[in-house]
Copies of this chain bind each other. A is one copy, B any other.
Amino acid sequence: MGGRRSDADARDSRAAILRRATDVASAEGLEGLTIGRLASDVGMSKAGVLGHFGTKERLQLEALDYAAEVFVERVWRPAEHAQPGLGRLLAICEAWADYVQNPSFSGGCFIAAASFEYDSRDGNVHDALRTVVRRWRRKLVREIETAVEAGELPSESDPDQIAFTLESLAAGTSPARYLQEDKDVAARCLRAMRLAIGVPAAVAERP
């Protein structure tokens, strides 16, 4: 019993550290995370935090995995059961717009923030991030291809072009919200996404 109890405690404190790490990093960057600050935020010793993750880089990589899971839960999961193709693509866009309006982290989307922080750096965090964003790109491209094959989108649609635009729009809501003080970034993002997809007007007008 004692063993299982302390395993559960260890999982809880690991999870608490990751939640706090992703929250801080979403606003202030993943590079600026310090073990000392995290330890103090979650009420542990520095040695305690290091005991869970070993190195700062390991913590950064696990924070990225954790944030990627949250992204999937918020943006993919609500759309997963929609009809593959245009239906699911639009459901993804709606969930994505809702996510950027009500992000799970205090600084907005962690993946977007980390993308801009690490895109032109080298190293393991960059590489892991590349894997995460490419996996998402492939999901988007596949959905667009399915919509084209089903005749729901024009045959000349360029899946990578559309996916690039959707990614840019979702990320762009963060400076729009915090620097331009655009109020309703979800609506703005979704309108622009539908235009980029080339949704027929009748579908675009859906509430």
Chain A residues with a Cβ under 8 A of chain B: 26-29, 31-32, 106-108, 112-113, 115-117, 119-121, 126, 129-130, 133-134, 137, 160-161, 164-165, 167-169, 171-180, 182, 188, 191-192, 195-196
Q: Which residue from chain B places its CB closest to the CB of A170 in the assembled complex?
A: B168
- Known interface pairs A32-B31, A130-B179, A180-B164. Does A120 touch B192 (Cβ–Cβ under 8 Å)? no
Enumerate 19 A-B pairs (CB-CB under 8 Å) in ascending A order.
A28-B31, A29-B117, A107-B120, A113-B116, A116-B116, A116-B171, A116-B174, A116-B175, A119-B179, A126-B179, A161-B188, A161-B191, A164-B172, A164-B182, A164-B192, A165-B172, A168-B168, A171-B171, A171-B172
Contact of A195 among B113, B120, B121, B196 (CB under 8 A): B196
Which residues of the partner chain B approach A176 to less than 8 Å between Cβ atoms? 164, 167-168
Chain A binding site: helix, strand, loop or mixed by DSSP? helix
- Known interface pairs A32-B31, A172-B164. Does A119 touch B178 (Cβ–Cβ under 8 Å)? yes
Q: In the bound complex, do residue B195 and residue A182 qualify as a contact, i.e. CB atoms below 8 Å apart? A: no
* CA gap between A129 and B171 in the complex, in Å: 17
Q: In the bound complex, do residue A179 and residue B134 qualify as a contact, i.e. CB atoms below 8 Å apart? A: yes
- Known interface pairs A27-B121, A120-B106, A196-B196. Does A175 touch B179 (Cβ–Cβ under 8 Å)? no
* CA gap between A31 and B24 in the complex, in Å: 15
